[in-house]
Amino acid sequence: MSTERTRGLVIVNTGDGKGKSSSAFGVMLRAVARGWHVIVVQFIKSEEWQTGERRMAERLGVDWITGGDGFTWESDDMEATEKAARDAWERAEGAISGGDYDLVILDEATYPVTFGWVPVDDVVAVISGRQDRVNIIITGRDADPALIDIADTVTEMKNVKHVFDEGIPARKGLDY
């Protein structure tokens, strides 16, 4: 088998539409079904949020790190929010570099990069230096061009219509 067919891939799901994380979690399910060792590192969602995807992942034996403290626009302490993102990146870096995982999902990782909390050069270096078998999925809006450059597959979700624009809040089972 050629190295090209077996090396880990980098996938970026970006854009202003829904489905970036949901797509990554769909791949998570596929990977677990194939016996892969998977970890999810979330950069925005708070530990207090009890999301459906996390509940299912834990049942399936997926390792899960929630490194955020909620939506940045709701933060009362931006220094703590930034520190949480940097700490999450350190843990993600260890998961990627350690080589123990077949799939590492960096959920909403574009935000700490965009906000300048985690240097994009550091992220690129860690991802580029990973062991061959490690696959990476990065989600979030406004993916840095450097992340797009190192990706094997980039999908941009486009918002055509969203119920939130009509004042309908997120719903359990559909959105979280």
Domains of the chain (ranges, CATH numbers): 3-160 (3.40.50.300)
Residue matched to tokens 């590492």? 104
pLDDT at 90: 96
pLDDT at 1: 41
pLDDT band at 76 (very low <50, low <70, confident <90, very high): low
Tell me the pTM. 0.90
Q: How far apart are CA 62 and CA 158, in angstroms?
A: 29
Interval 77-121: pLDDT, tens: 678 888 888 999 999 999 999 999 999 999 999 999 999 999 999
What are the tens digits of pLDDT across the range 51-60? 888 899 999 9
Q: Which residues neighbour 65 within 8 Å (Cβ) at sequence distance 6 or greater?
A: 39, 40, 41, 42, 88, 91, 92, 95
Positive or negative, the CA dihedral 66, 72, 74, 78 is: positive
Sign of CA dihedral 169, 141, 83, 125: positive
